[in-house]
């Protein structure tokens, strides 16, 4: 049972508002911890394994094979998994603005699949809509131009009812777009560009990739206690005394991370889901919900060799949170960073302006509301469950609209839109602010319990049917999704 139901008390409501404000102001949120950091499962002092970077493919001629395989989760420990090209993360697909992508997908899985390019603006036919899922042993060729700015995107399966299981078993990879604007910034690259896919799993090799959600998981989303990075349990990374770029992707099932460094140093955030922010912003912590990306710099020049810094998920609490074994807000040690003796070089200062993001004109924009509601065994948007052949909303190409995402439940809902990015204008209730790292363009926004998030959206590229859905993967698979048709 989930005490509190839909009626959340004022006191608990303030609790999360305070957590958000403290995180923003750099205050301590440790006081809000609901578990003992010394014994909490997420902080586990197990043996750490080196974080490895995924292999790379060019989008101009890429071939992906989704098939059963074996994932190495630590030294001498591996798990049966489902993988793209035998790898976790799948190969990183790299593209430049202006290029044409040609990607071949072969389905070697025992069930239908389809690949979606999350955050990449592609025609509706190439977007991986669930109704285009292909059968086992079938293949599909995707062709689309890269029309957007540089940024950190990803790809993953999107077959209806099967998305959560396929991602959990290991099917996910990065899709990185570069452009001239970003080149000019001279950001850290090569060994100083770290891609980090975060997922929470069970610790044992036998259970880590097994998809067997419980009834409780189908309500809250599947939350587990041990952090994995790029498929490896409790990762560690050696860094030289220089500036690094971290592109972090939350590819978990349901977990929200509150990312920070354990030495209190700030993160210099330069980008999020839609690419570069207008300017870099220094923050103490970042809420990162499923599907979201965050792109930040850490300069290790100031730390002596041997320094160990932990990239953490800080504890936080939710109003009327369901009582589960590994609740949202569990403290976790995500990635250990060990400074080596090298480097010590001073990188050039970043320019004050990273990119320009013209604000969408809000005046006179028509408004639509989307109410996200969860009951014991249902997850609905505007009272409806997904029918992949039903059009739920129609929006004219080019029209700017004001959309309100209302969370009428005790669970976080990361709301994701295909076919267009959006701009976050306001958040009321709950954390009650728009965080500086939510500036620019976003394709996924976290709507915590009791929050209403207001965004401006304009589909200005392609007509056709694009999903809007909750990216909690159990919620998504159970129908918290609808079809928006751009006409």
Nearer Cβ to ligand C2O (289/333): 289
User: Which of the ranges 258-266, 268-276, 294-302, 465-473 carries the binding residues for ligand C2O, by CB under 6 A?
Assistant: 465-473
Give the residue with the Cβ less far from ligand C2O, 151 or 467. Answer: 467
Look at the block and give the residue holding tokens 């949202």: 328
The residue within the footprint of ligand C2O, chosen from 467, 470, 474, 475 (CB under 6 A), is 467
CB nearest ligand C2O: which residue? 118
156 binds Cu ion (CB under 5 A): no
Near ligand C2O in 290-319, by CB under 6 A: 291
Number of residues lying near Cu ion (CB under 5 A): 6
392: its two tokens: 């739920």
CB of 375 to ligand C2O, least distance (A): 22
At 203 the three-state DSSP class reads coil
Per-residue x/- marks for Cu ion, 99-118, CB under 5 A? -------------------x
Binding partner of 158, given ligand C2O, Cu ion, none, CB within 5-8 angstroms per partner class: ligand C2O
| Distance of closest approach, residue 463 Cβ to ligand C2O, in angstroms | 18
Residue 166's alpha-carbon distances to 64, 195, 440, 473, in angstroms, are 15, 21, 31, 10
Does the footprint of ligand C2O cover residue 416 (CB under 6 A)? yes
Closest separation in Å from C-beta 467 to ligand C2O: 5
> Taking CB under 5 A as the criterion, which residues in 118-147 touch Cu ion?
118
Least separation in angstroms between CB 466 and ligand C2O = 9
Does residue 421 bind Cu ion (CB under 5 A)?
no
Instruction: Specify the DSSP class assigned to residue 60.
Output: G
Binders of ligand C2O among residues 156 to 175 (CB under 6 A) are 156, 158
Peptide bond into 89 cis (omega under 30): yes
d(CA 272, CA 437): 7
- CA distance linking residue 395 with residue 412, whole number of Å: 27
Q: How many CB atoms lie within 10 A of CB 435?
A: 20
CA distance 381 to 175: 29
Please state, in angstroms and rounded to a whole number, the distance separating the CA atoms of residues 154 and 173.
6
Binding to ligand C2O, residues 80-119 (CB under 6 A): 116, 118
Q: Which residue in the set 201, 418, 421, 431 belongs to the binding site for ligand C2O (CB under 6 A)?
A: 418
Binding mask 213-252 for ligand C2O (x = CB under 6 A): ----------------------------------------
CB 99 within 8 A of CB 179: no
Long-range contacts of 29-33 (CB under 8 A, 24+ apart): 29/258, 29/285, 29/314, 29/315, 29/316, 30/314, 30/315, 32/315, 32/316, 32/317, 32/329, 33/315, 33/331
Contact 335, 42 (CB under 8 A): no
Which CB atom, from 80 or from 324, has the smaller least distance to Cu ion? 324
3-state secondary structure of 459: coil
| CB closer to ligand C2O, 289 vs 320 | 289
The answer to whether residue 475 forms part of the interface with Cu ion (CB under 5 A) is: yes
Largest CA distance in the chain: 61
Window 377-416: residues binding Cu ion (CB under 5 A): 413
Torsion (CA) 182, 266, 453, 292 in degrees, nearest 10: 50
Q: Which stretch binds ligand C2O (CB under 6 A): 8-16, 95-103, 387-395, 464-472?
A: 464-472
Task: Tell me how far apart the alpha carbons of residues 220 and 410 are, in angstroms, rounded to a whole number.
Answer: 9
How many chain residues are in contact with ligand C2O, going by CB under 6 A?
10
Residues that bind ligand C2O (CB under 6 A): 116, 118, 156, 158, 291, 416, 418, 467, 469, 471
């Amino acid at each position: 049972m989930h005490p509190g139901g839909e009626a959340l008390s004022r006191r608990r409501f303030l609790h999360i508002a305070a957590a958000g404000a403290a995180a923003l102001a750099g205050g301590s949120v440790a006081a809000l911890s609901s578990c003992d950091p010394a014994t909490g499962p997420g902080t586990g002092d197990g043996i750490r394994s080196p974080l490895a970077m995924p292999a790379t493919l060019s989008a101009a001629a890429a071939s992906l094979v989704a098939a059963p395989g074996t994932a190495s989760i630590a030294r001498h420990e591996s798990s049966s998994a489902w993988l793209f090209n035998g790898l976790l993360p799948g190969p990183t697909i790299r593209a430049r603005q202006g290029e044409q992508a040609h990607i071949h997908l072969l389905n070697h899985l025992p069930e239908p699949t389809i690949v979606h390019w999350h955050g990449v603006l592609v025609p509706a036919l190439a977007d991986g809509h669930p109704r285009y899922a292909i059968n086992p042993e079938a293949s599909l060729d995707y062709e689309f131009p890269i029309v957007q700015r540089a940024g950190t995107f990803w790809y993953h399966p999107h077959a209806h009812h099967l998305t959560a299981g396929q991602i959990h078993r290991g099917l996910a990879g990065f899709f990185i777009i570069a452009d001239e604007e970003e080149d000019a910034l001279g950001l850290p690259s090569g060994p100083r560009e770290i891609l980090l896919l975060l997922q929470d799993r069970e610790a044992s090799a036998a259970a880590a990739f097994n998809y067997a959600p419980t009834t409780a998981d189908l309500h809250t989303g599947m939350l587990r206690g041990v952090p994995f990075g790029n498929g490896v349990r409790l990762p560690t990374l050696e860094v030289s005394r220089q500036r690094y770029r971290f592109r972090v992707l939350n590819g978990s099932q349901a977990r929200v991370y509150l990312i920070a460094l354990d030495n209190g140093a700030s993160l210099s955030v330069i980008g999020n889901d839609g690419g570069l922010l207008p300017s870099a912003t220094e923050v103490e912590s970042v809420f990162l919900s499923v599907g979201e990306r965050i792109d930040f710099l850490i300069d290790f020049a100031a730390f002596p060799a041997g320094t160990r810094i932990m990239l953490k998920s800080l504890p936080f609490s939710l109003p009327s949170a369901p009582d589960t074994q590994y609740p949202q807000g569990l403290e976790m040690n995500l990635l250990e960073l060990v400074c080596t003796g090298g480097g010590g070089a001073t990188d050039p200062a970043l320019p004050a302006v990273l990119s320009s993001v013209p604000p969408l004109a809000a005046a006179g924009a028509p408004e639509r509301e989307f109410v996200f509601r969860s009951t014991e065994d249902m997850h609905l948007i505007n009272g409806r469950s997904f029918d992949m052949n039903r059009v739920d909303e129609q929006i004219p190409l080019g029209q700017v609209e004001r959309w309100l995402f209302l969370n009428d439940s005790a669970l976080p809902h990361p709301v994701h839109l295909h076919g267009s990015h959006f701009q976050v204008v306001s958040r009321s209730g709950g954390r009650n602010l728009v965080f500086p790292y939510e500036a620019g363009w976003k394709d996924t926004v976290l709507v915590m319990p009791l929050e209403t998030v207001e965004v401006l959206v304009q589909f200005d590229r392609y007509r056709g049917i694009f999903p809007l859905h909750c990216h909690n993967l159990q919620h998504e698979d159970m129908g918290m999704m609808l079809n928006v048709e751009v006409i």
